[in-house]
Every structure is written in C-alpha cells, then in structure tokens.
C-alpha cells in the first residue's frame, strides 16, 4: 500500500491542487466582497454567501492537502517540521513559510466563521479582515515559488485574480457605503420616518 502511494505523481498532484486552492480562495474572496454589495433580491445575497462559504472552505481543504503532499513526495521530500513550522524549510524558506502561514490563516478564517455567532460581531469582522493578508501570502507563495508561473495562461490567471480583488475591494470601501446611505435615505423618505 505504502509502495503504491509513494509512486503517485505526488509533486504534480501537489502543484495542481495548490493552484486549484489558490483559485478557489481568490473566487471565494471575490464572492465575500460582493456579499457586502447591495442586491435587489435577498435570494441573490443568500447565494453569494453560500458560494463564498463553499469556495473558501474547499480552498482551505485543498490548500491543506497541497501543503501535506510534499511530506510523502519522493521527488523533493519535506520533513514535517519544514511544512508545519513557518520558515523552517531548507529550500526557499521565506516562500514556503508564507504557504504555511497562509494555511494557518485559512484555518483560523474558516473556523472563526463557523463560530461567528458566539463571538462579538466587531471582533469577528476584524478577524475576518485577515483574509486580505492570507490571500496576499498565497499569491506571493504561489506566484514566486510555483513552476507553473512560467506558463503565460497561469500568469494571466494570477493577474486576473489580483485585478478582480483589488477592483472589488476599492469599490467596496469607496462606493458601497455611499450606495447604502442613499438607499437608507430613499427608504426613510418612502416610509416618512
């Protein structure tokens, strides 16, 4: 059985899973930001929230699988310490360390969201903003460490994901509060409050 497992193309699997995790996390963050945008129908908000949770949870699960695969790889094996302790890897300690920190950050984000009704709202929201540095860490880790970055299509996907997140974040913090305030004023006028 062990013999069968060590002959898996673990390094290739690890790369594919790592990129899949990155894309799911990027899409999940976009959906999380979109959730704070006003929506005409409550159903739209619900769908955004459901997909945000699905994508970020799946991204975290794949990220963990990707991080653990080097331990059983025969191509370039990692010791447990190199994977679990940030910046302890023999090769590219900083870039690998960012991957480890991103994985821990993703775990904190997913589990703090599961228990968010038991935490003060402001505290939960402040902790949820950790998503931005976690995403930045996964980007730097994947882009600068990944062998697939040499492929043009992959570089475009990284660029697109960054452009989407930066644009949505700018709109979210610069414009959404004004939309919401205008919507409230219209509602108050209608109800005569």
- Of 102, 109, 131, 165, the residue at the interface with ligand HEM (CB under 6 A) is 102
Residue closer to ligand HEM by CB (options 123, 151) is: 151
Q: Does 135 bind ligand HEM (CB under 6 A)?
A: no
Closest CA to 12 of 58, 66, 93, 55: 66
- Cβ-contact 55, 28 below 8 angstroms: yes
- Cβ-contact 66, 13 below 8 angstroms: no
Residue closer to ligand HEM by CB (options 25, 168) is: 25
Residue closer to ligand HEM by CB (options 20, 176) is: 20
Q: Does 100 bind ligand HEM (CB under 6 A)?
A: yes
- Cβ-contact 114, 60 below 8 angstroms: no
For residue 111, the SS3 value is: helix
A 10 A CB-CB count for 129 gives: 10
Q: Does 138 bind ligand HEM (CB under 6 A)?
A: yes
Minimal distance in Å, beta carbon 115 to ligand HEM? 20
Minimal distance in Å, beta carbon 188 to ligand HEM? 44
């Amino acid at each position: 059985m062990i013999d069968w497992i060590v002959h898996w193309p673990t390094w290739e699997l690890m790369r594919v899973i790592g990129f899949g995790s990155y894309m799911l996390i990027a899409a999940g963050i976009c959906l999380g930001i979109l959730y704070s945008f006003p929506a005409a129908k409550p159903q739209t908000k619900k769908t955004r929230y459901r997909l945000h949770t699905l994508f970020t949870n799946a991204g975290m699960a794949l990220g963990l699988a990707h991080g653990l695969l080097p331990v059983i790889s025969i191509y370039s094996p990692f010791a447990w310490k190199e994977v679990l302790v940030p910046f302890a890897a023999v090769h590219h300690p900083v870039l690998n360390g960012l991957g480890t920190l991103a994985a821990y950050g993703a775990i904190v984000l997913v589990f703090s969201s599961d228990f968010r009704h038991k935490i003060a709202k402001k505290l939960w929201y402040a902790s949820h903003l950790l998503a931005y540095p976690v995403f930045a860490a996964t980007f730097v880790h994947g882009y600068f460490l990944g062998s697939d970055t040499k492929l043009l299509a992959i570089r475009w996907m990284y660029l697109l994901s960054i452009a989407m997140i930066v644009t949505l974040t700018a709109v979210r913090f610069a414009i959404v509060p004004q939309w919401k305030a205008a919507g409230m004023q219209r509602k108050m006028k209608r109800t005569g409050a």
